[in-house]
Structure 1
Amino acid sequence: MSASAHTIRRQRHDAAERPFIVIWESTRACPLACLHCRAEAVPDRDPRELDTAAAKDLLRQVAAFGKPAPLFVITGGDPFQRPDLCELIAHGREVGVRVAVSPSGTPTLTEERLRELHAAGASGLSLSLDGSTAEIHDAFRGVPGVFRWTLDAWDAARALGMRVQINTTVARHNLHDLPDIVRLVADRGAMLWSAFFLVPTGRGRTLGALTAAEVEDVLNFVYDVGLTVPAKTTEAHHFRRVALQRQILANSGDDHMAVLGLGPLYQELTDRAAVLGLDVGTRRVRRPPLDVNAGRGFVFVSHTGTVHPSGFLPLSAGSVRESSLTSIYRTSPLFTGLRADGMLGGRCGQCEFRRVCGGSRSRAYGVTGDPFAEEPWCGYVPGSFPHQRELAALLSGDTGKPSPARLGPTAAEGGKEHRVQQER
């Protein structure tokens, strides 16, 4: 198997035919007031929401993609605001769809509720942790006590044997707290830690953007701690570029800090990780990032049934009330355009990593209004990586087996903090 097969994972099915994951925004009702909220959540449920019958029909549409069906994640808002949540999870099991839940850390997130989810057949749980302390996390979530509720739910879910994913929104408020968050994840245990890089949409437009250099430093930190906790990124698809670069530099014995021009934030995160013992990895191998992108293996259905390439890309390709999800995903101009080779503009279109990265289409749209524009939070200059020959060999898969880069349109991840993936 080529080295790239270990560094980047490809989807098992043709991304033009079926998504890897379907995210459903079951409601926008939520008692929190998170600073970054994509959904601009509100206290009460919207009467236009998909009702129980329509939601069950949506699950059958997901099953229609074929076996095994895409993973179906119920998010919000707060999914517990829907009294039919467990009924829908059970229906998913009946029609052959794995259902995971991404609840908000509120008083609704009780051990009893988690037992009900588990009994109904929920395959996993996604929780948000945006600070290593109550002070940092609760300030970001807008309600005191959320940190404690989240930790209690985390413990309860683990005790029930549920698979737990921890999602961290990477923003200016917690840049320097990231090593402490990872230490908490390592100590309490999780299936996966996902570093979500903010997309300027919804309330998130008011938060300060990171610089491309800061993002590069954090991506390399996430790569480093991948030997301590299973780690991935969301809306930072250039993490796949970083994984390839670091693999090649490790093989060549080069200093990655010097070659990649990493800055003081990376040094600070590295030093803090060493103090916390995160530099002594306990995992034999890193978890390879999966080649998925908005509209390419990923689809988002809103609370009213509109279909989008990502929860952070508000362009609609239709509605599940009027057309089948399979038809929208496979044939709509928006989705086929995002999967088409050669559509990317700017540096993304010229980049040698474009087929295993593609940049955040959501962030490109949020910043420029063009979903095909270059990734605003990436500073890589195409062609500047010094080991182009080694990279070409890694991308081509010199053993003759297909590598992710040769698949052309395959790829990315996104959603609210709605990101529970069993295999990602």
Structure 2
Amino acid sequence: MRRLRHATAERPFIVIWEATQACPLACRHCRASARPERDPAELTTDEAVDLMAQVARFGRPAPLFVITGGDPFQRPDLTTLVRRGTELGLAVSVSPSGTPTLTRQALAELRDAGTRAISLSLDAAGPAAHDGFRGVEGVYALTTRAWRDAAALGLKVQINTTVTRRTVDDLPDIAAQVRDLGAMLWSVFFLVPTGRGRALAALDAAETEDVLHLLYDLGETVPVKTTEAHHFRRVCLQRAALARHGVPAAATPGLGPLYRRLRRRIDELGLTAGPQRPRRPPLRVSAGDGFVFVSHRGQVHPSGFLPLPAGDVRTQSLVDIYRDAPLFRALRDPDRLGGRCGACEYRSVCGGSRARAYATTGDVHAEEPACGYLPGSFAYPVDAPRQT
């Protein structure tokens, strides 16, 4: 488990800014319910620069600053914003959509303006399923081309993958692409029922557990993290404890048929037989606790998947909102958690997805619906983390 060197109550690890909701795609899971046209109420260029100046005022090291959307390339000032953010001392990354605007020249201009990295979405291992998920033909080809172009230009690339019941069996083959094409990180996103994602079939708790254990298996050959699956931290701690006690992966309690099916596929692909890399420990960052999201209109949320406003950067300081807003302070208090999360010995390192809890129950402190762990049931309690 990695912990930040600075207090997350004082400074976030990462700030995500939704530069626009305009996007020509029609992704089935879209949190923003993106639309073709830009919103006239978006932050202007000057307001966006002021936002980045507010982020810089958190101090050193400055939070990572990610420009997302919609599709950030729908803003004609994107390169200017990257340059200004870099001048302010921010490490700026961009998360573009797989559209015809995503050209090698456009990526080169982002790099020259100071972009450190880009993130690209790959939700299936082949064009038919991926394009169907994104709602537009040709997106898979544009995305994989951009992946190669970005790598050739010296940009770091993160690959984002959304897991649903329709796409879960593609995970091993996507992992193989991450291994073969290279990426600094593979972020596997577990669906939150918000925006268009409410219409999709998410994994249940048992299936989620199976996938988290599979991702742990892949961690020595692929640089993997999870998004909105905070209990991956618990799984990592438990698997490390089982390894210390000589319990093999196949004997891990509670693993089901989905794990076995996916495990067979990663073995077929040789994904655990190659050179081992240092395992990437999960980072203790959660909504409102190391993480903050700013909408295209300047509203501040704990995350993009938790649509509860805590302030507005047009009229308030982002630093003050993050540090002092009651919603953010409550989210940083594990003693506010209810249900199994509140009783769990891993609550201080996990805490569950507050976005999924809210989307499912309307209570931001409710137990994590996609976790089936029974508090206190792990066979080696001495290896559980102490509360802090």
Place the TM-score, normalised by the shorter chain, in its bin.
over 0.9
> Given the alignment, which residue of 222, 229, 241 partners 2:215?
222
> Given the alignment, which residue of 17, 36, 39 partners 1:24?
17
Q: 1:198 to 1:381 in 2, by over 3 A?
A: same
Stretch of structure 1 that moved more, 280-289 or 152-161: 280-289
The correspondence of residues 113-192 of structure 1 with structure 2, limited to 5 A, is: 113-192=106-185
* SS class of match (2:334): coil
Tell me the TM-score normalised to structure 1 length. 0.90
| Partners of 1:209 and 1:103 in 2: CA distance | 24
Measure how far apart 1:209 and its partner are: 2.2
Residues 90-121 of structure 1 show CA distances to partners (whole Å, capped at 9, x for unaligned) of 00111111110000001110001001000000
The number of aligned residues is 388
Alpha-carbon contact 2:334-2:351 (below 8 Å) kept: no
| Partners of 2:86 and 2:201 in 1: CA distance | 41
* SS class of match (2:170): helix
What one-letter code is carried by the residue in structure 2 that aligns with 1:297? G
Measure how far apart 1:146 and its partner are: 0.2
What one-letter code is carried by the residue in structure 1 that aligns with 2:258? L
Unaligned runs of 5+ in 1: 1-7, 397-404, 407-424
- Aligned twin of 1:4: none
Alpha-carbon contact 1:225-1:281 (below 8 Å) kept: no
Alpha-carbon contact 1:225-1:231 (below 8 Å) kept: yes
* SS class of match (1:214): helix
> Given the alignment, which residue of 45, 52, 70 partners 1:52?
45
- Aligned twin of 2:199: 206
Residues 26-84 of structure 1 show CA distances to partners (whole Å, capped at 9, x for unaligned) of 00000000000000000000000000000000000000000121000000000000000
Q: Does 1 or 2 have the higher relative contact order (CA < 8 Å, sep 6+)?
A: 1
Alpha-carbon contact 1:193-1:230 (below 8 Å) kept: yes
| Partners of 2:364 and 2:274 in 1: CA distance | 38
| Partners of 2:275 and 2:217 in 1: CA distance | 12
Q: Does 1:290 align with 2:283?
A: yes
| Partners of 2:247 and 2:87 in 1: CA distance | 53
Measure how far apart 1:257 and its partner are: 4.0
- Aligned twin of 2:58: 65
Question: Quick one: percent identity of the two aligned structures?
Answer: 64
Alpha-carbon contact 1:111-1:153 (below 8 Å) kept: yes
Q: 1:259 to 1:228 in 2, by over 3 A?
A: closer
- Aligned twin of 2:307: 314
Tell me the TM-score normalised to structure 2 length. 0.99
* SS class of match (1:249): helix
- Aligned twin of 1:330: 323
| Partners of 1:389 and 1:103 in 2: CA distance | 44
Q: Pairwise CA RMSD of aligned residues?
A: 0.9
Alpha-carbon contact 1:27-1:303 (below 8 Å) kept: yes
Alpha-carbon contact 1:347-1:374 (below 8 Å) kept: yes
| Partners of 2:6 and 2:206 in 1: CA distance | 35
Measure how far apart 1:349 and its partner are: 0.2
Measure how far apart 1:256 and its partner are: 4.0
Measure how far apart 1:282 and its partner are: 2.0
Stretches (4+) displaced over 6 A: none
What one-letter code is carried by the residue in structure 2 that aligns with 1:235? E
What one-letter code is carried by the residue in structure 1 that aligns with 2:112? A
* SS class of match (1:195): strand
Unaligned runs of 5+ in 2: none
* SS class of match (2:335): coil
| Partners of 1:368 and 1:281 in 2: CA distance | 43
